């Protein structure tokens, strides 16, 4: 039996439409989202006293004013720009 081009396109369109109208892809996407949030190696937010300190970024020659958040005064967890904004080097400073 020979399948023509129109029959093939109609079959594919029906399959795509039927899949989108069924709950299967949406339930699968929901299950994957829930599953990926329960991984044991997923980094969790650190606990402790959170304080912010204002300083100057020394990673580039601009000397941008930044504000860095610390946990218990030890580990920097977030850097944000002052009134001017922040360069890409300053934004990635907490990774070093």
pTM of the model: 0.47
State phi, psi for 19 to the nearest 5 degrees. -65, -40
Residue (of 77, 73, 70, 74) closest to 94 by Cα position? 77
Q: How far apart are CA 43 and CA 64, in angstroms?
A: 29
Which residues, in sequence order, are CB contacts of 61 under 8 Å at separation 6+? none
Q: What is the pLDDT of residue 1?
A: 72
The two tokens of residue 93 are 């400073």
Displacement of CA 75 from its chain's centroid (Å): 21
Which residues, in sequence order, are CB contacts of 87 under 8 Å at separation 6+? 57, 59, 60, 62, 64
What are the pLDDT digits (tens) for 79-96?
Answer: 788 777 788 887 777 765
In order along its 96 residues, the chain shows pLDDT tens digits of 788 999 999 999 999 999 888 998 889 999 999 888 877 777 777 788 888 888 888 888 888 888 888 888 788 887 788 777 788 887 777 765
């Amino acid at each position: 039996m020979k399948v023509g081009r129109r029959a093939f396109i109609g079959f594919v369109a029906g399959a795509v439409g039927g899949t989108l109208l069924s709950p299967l892809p949406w339930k699968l996407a929901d299950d994957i989202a829930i599953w990926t949030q329960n991984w044991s190696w997923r980094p969790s937010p650190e606990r402790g006293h959170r304080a912010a300190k204002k300083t100057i970024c020394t990673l580039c020659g601009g000397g941008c004013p930044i504000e860095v958040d610390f946990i218990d005064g030890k580990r920097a967890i977030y850097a944000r720009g002052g009134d001017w904004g922040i360069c890409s080097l300053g934004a990635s400073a907490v990774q070093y």
